[in-house]
Structure 1
Amino acid sequence: MRKLLSRFEGDKAIWAYVILLALFSFMPVFSASSNLVHVVGTGSIIGLLMKHFFHILVGIVIVFVFHRMPFDRLKYFAPIAWIPVVGLLFLTAAQGMMIGGANASRWLNIPGINLSFQPSSIGWISLMAYLSWFLWKFSDEEYSFNKSLLWVWAPVGLIILPIFPSNFSTAAIIFASVCMLLFIGKYPLKYLGKVLGFGLVMGVMAFFAAKAFPDYAPSRLSTWVARIDRFGSDDKDIDRYQIENAKIAIAQGEVFGVGPGKSIQKNFLPQSSSDFIYAIIVEEFGFIGGMLILGVYVLLLFRFLVVSNKAPNLFGKYLVIGLGFSIIFQAIINMGVAVEIFPTTGQPLPLVSSGGTSIWMTCLSLGIILSVSRKEDEIKRQMADNAAKQEAFKRLLEEQELADKEERELEGDNPMNAVLNK
């Protein structure tokens, strides 16, 4: 057992928080799944729980496999890995899937097997890896704004563009993650300001155009305009079913919660096992449970900062920042939606919400982060080994000198040596 555990290397605190969140997730997922079974009529509780167990198990395997791989190898794949992902994203967007009159082309089915995934999550990771490579590669070079348009914003645009129509919230979070990583990577602020200014103007124009001409606006844009209108509104004519039920769940939780599995609002709250799972957690485990979950993500953020600060090179530093902060962004937004700090989105709570793609892509990011921290440990071990070897060599020299000195003293005290010297 000890030999097996020794194979799990890297930052031990990150491993602990990952396992803690994964184990905890079974309680709210098990509880919230009853909504899908008894209200929606989807499968069985045991079946859904076993499905979540499979997702978590595969996720832990993904973390283990990728944390054993040297992260420096990504330098060879990061510059081109995002290119085939763009093809997957446009293929997904071209499906034209509609649910409730809105664009829902988020999933791509794998032919031959009953399995689907969201390419947007892969695009997110590949983009963070590419930008980490770019910031490392050009860290000592000056480049013009036009050159950065080609090297930075063209890949960003090609990743975000096919995601935007069906999943505006994910596209917006990816863009925010990109800006954060570029800011930390010392991308020229004047260039970043130009892009942010252009994006802000286009966003405001799109919002008011959708408000003025709702019949001509893309379906998903109209959905988001409606969500923004509902956000914080007291108008009784506006449908606030999701957020009102989430707030009821949180209010019923009070300090200590109603108890595991005893949530009432899970029967009324849509997406109670994914998008609004934090509301169910607070209802069942109370304010204390909600704050403890928030605390785990804060501790994870702290460990990400520690790992990035100790990374052996800039590429590793930017990888940890880009991938780690993306996980924290998702967590903050999921919890913020439940308490109405943000408008309603479809972001999961990392490692807690049900869903295969979100769990696996989060685990992939964590595996890469742990690989960076594992490299730190290897360097420390090498330094410790070198120091031990130097200390052993020093002791050997001292022992040899002491032996020579004793030999000389013995020769000096021997009477025969005096006779021979005469």
Structure 2
Amino acid sequence: MNNVAEPHGWRPFTGDRVLWVIIATLATISVLVVYSSTAKMAYDAHTARSTAHFLRSQFTVLGGSLFAMLVVQRINSRVYNFFARPVYFLSVLATVAVYFIGVSINGAARWIPLGPIQFQPSEALKVATVLFLAQQLAGRQSKIDKIRIVPSWKFWTWTTPPQQKIWREGTWPILMPVLVACLVIFPAHFSSALLVFLASWVMMLIGRVRFGELLKLLAWAVAAAVLATQLNLGRGGTAGNRFDTWVRLWSEPQTEKPIDYLTDTERSMIAIHNGGIFGEGAGQSAMRVEMIHPESDYAFAFFVEEYGLLLAVVLLMLYLWIFFRAIEIFRRCGTAFPGLLVLGLALQITCQALLHIMVTVNMCPETGQTLPLISRGGSAVLFTAIALGMILSVSRQNDEKSHDTPKGETLYGN
């Protein structure tokens, strides 16, 4: 290991400077969006709280998340590697515990009450799965192109030596952590399980898992999703209903429809139409009082209505920029674990943002995914900040040239 001292002493903000600018911009937009969008809740007779209350709440969340990011970006990736396994299993246990001791909202149990706050363990599990999978893939780079990860569908052959080898070398260490994470998240949040699977699939692709194995895994995943929907497992029934609604919005005329019968997706499209190129202006949204959750599930549509399509395109570019900066950090790593970690985390953040935006313009069924770092929330903002802190940590170590280089852990094998 080569330790190089920083030329200007200790600095609170280290790593990729462009990424810091993106984070600061998103945090500023979050304050503007939440302050204006929560007017609906402030005017609600049942809350008896002002918009200033929700603004202070968001400042507290952002401040705490920024502090966590500052701490995380000072921790070297070898520490993440060491704690990957226990963090993953604790996150799985906490997510499972939600179904027994958590609170249920809109038919989904996602939160564990911790005094005045509600903790959403699935957000921690999303980050932990990337962390653990990066560790598992990194440790097998010298032989990863020879490992099979998907056992035969003929389950009665699993006791044979060839199938036992697949389970031992590929299924248990690489595939099973992803499947377990998806299974425990799925009953409460289908789209989050989908995000975890997609990010993990791409990580395995970049981590040089055999492409034929990945195609088989994708086929099994599609079959499992269809079966869950048909059998109404977990939130599969809800996902099916949302898909049917989405199809109807595209295939049936929606003119002369009373506003009370509009879906939130239709209201979000009206908000985008109202915003036009330059927007209605800050605090001038008309649709915020019509949407159920303008501050979270439809934050992008609300942003377009007030600030216009031009700034909305800039916002979209910021999320894509996060991923492109992650690619640049990845290229400079030279070793598998930090590189895979960075790309996996950036994939989750960018894909979540794109999924949120696609819902608001009716390009896919409703998912309930928030806009990272912008939508009002606690656990989602915190763990997005932690993920960004990890990316910044790897970037800092690239600058310092202080990455460990274990034998057999380059992304190109030996």
| Fold conserved between structures, TM > 0.5 | yes
Work out the CA distance in 1 between the residues paired with 2:358 and 2:87.
32
Of 298, 306, 313, the residue aligned with 2:328 is 306
8 A contact 2:297–2:375 mirrored in 1: yes
Work out the CA distance in 1 between the residues paired with 2:365 and 2:45.
25
Question: Residue 240 of structure 1: CA displacement?
Answer: 4.6
Work out the CA distance in 2 between the residues paired with 1:363 and 1:227.
30
- Partner of 1:317 in structure 2? 339
Of 58, 61, 86, the residue aligned with 2:92 is 86
Work out the CA distance in 1 between the residues paired with 2:183 and 2:45.
33
Q: Which moved more, 1:296-305 or 1:130-139?
A: 296-305
How do residues 65-84 of structure 1 correspond to structure 2 at under 5 angstroms?
A: 65-84=71-90
Q: Which moved more, 1:300-309 or 1:5-14?
A: 5-14
- Partner of 1:220 in structure 2? 235
Work out the CA distance in 1 between the residues paired with 2:368 and 2:101.
20
Q: 1:286 to 1:232 in 2, by over 3 A?
A: farther
8 A contact 1:311–1:376 mirrored in 2: yes
8 A contact 1:160–1:174 mirrored in 2: yes
- Partner of 2:69 in structure 1? 63
Work out the CA distance in 1 between the residues paired with 2:102 and 2:20.
40
How do residues 16-415 of structure 1 correspond to structure 2 at under 5 angstroms?
A: 16-39=21-44, 41-42=46-47, 43-95=49-101, 97-100=103-106, 102=107, 104-110=108-114, 113-141=115-143, 142-145=146-149, 146=166, 147-207=169-229, 209-210=230-231, 217-218=232-233, 220-234=235-249, 235=252, 240-379=262-401
Partner SS for 1:105: strand
Partner SS for 1:205: helix
The Cα offsets for residues 279-298 of structure 1, whole Å up to 9 and x where unpaired, read as 01000011112111112112
Q: 1:86 to 1:347 in 2, by over 3 A?
A: same
Work out the CA distance in 2 between the residues paired with 1:337 and 1:131.
29
Work out the CA distance in 1 between the residues paired with 2:110 and 2:207.
30
Work out the CA distance in 2 between the residues paired with 1:11 and 1:323.
15
Work out the CA distance in 1 between the residues paired with 2:334 and 2:212.
29
8 A contact 1:312–1:376 mirrored in 2: no
Work out the CA distance in 1 between the residues paired with 2:298 and 2:59.
20
Question: Residue 379 of structure 1: CA displacement?
Answer: 2.1
Question: Residue 97 of structure 1: CA displacement?
Answer: 4.9
Q: Which moved more, 1:69-78 or 1:123-132?
A: 69-78
- Partner of 1:407 in structure 2? none
Work out the CA distance in 1 between the residues paired with 2:74 and 2:228.
45
Partner SS for 1:79: helix
Question: Residue 125 of structure 1: CA displacement?
Answer: 0.8
Partner SS for 2:333: coil
Q: Which moved more, 1:197-206 or 1:133-142?
A: 197-206
The Cα offsets for residues 240-260 of structure 1, whole Å up to 9 and x where unpaired, read as 511111010000001100001
Work out the CA distance in 2 between the residues paired with 1:29 and 1:4.
37
Structure 1, gaps ≥5 residues long: 211-216, 381-422
Work out the CA distance in 2 between the residues paired with 1:127 and 1:26.
29
Partner SS for 2:109: coil
Kindly provide the amino acid, as one letter, of the partner of residue 166 in structure 1: A
Name the larger-Rg structure: 1
Partner SS for 2:248: coil
Partner SS for 1:245: helix
The Cα offsets for residues 162-220 of structure 1, whole Å up to 9 and x where unpaired, read as 2111111111111111111111111111222222111212222333x34xxxxxx3462
Kindly provide the amino acid, as one letter, of the partner of residue 236 in structure 2: L
Work out the CA distance in 1 between the residues paired with 2:87 and 2:31.
34
Identity %: 28
- Partner of 2:14 in structure 1? 9
- Partner of 1:418 in structure 2? none
Structure 2, gaps ≥5 residues long: 1-7, 150-165, 403-414
Q: How many residues align?
A: 367
Work out the CA distance in 1 between the residues paired with 2:91 and 2:139.
22
| TM-score, structure 2 as length reference | 0.84
Greater helix proportion: 1
Question: Residue 72 of structure 1: CA displacement?
Answer: 1.8
- Partner of 2:155 in structure 1? none
Kindly provide the amino acid, as one letter, of the partner of residue 130 in structure 1: F
Work out the CA distance in 1 between the residues paired with 2:15 and 2:132.
23
Q: 1:339 to 1:61 in 2, by over 3 A?
A: same
Kindly provide the amino acid, as one letter, of the partner of residue 286 in structure 1: G
How much is the aligned-residue C-alpha RMSD, in angstroms?
2.0
Work out the CA distance in 2 between the residues paired with 1:199 and 1:218.
15
Q: Which moved more, 1:256-265 or 1:305-314?
A: 305-314
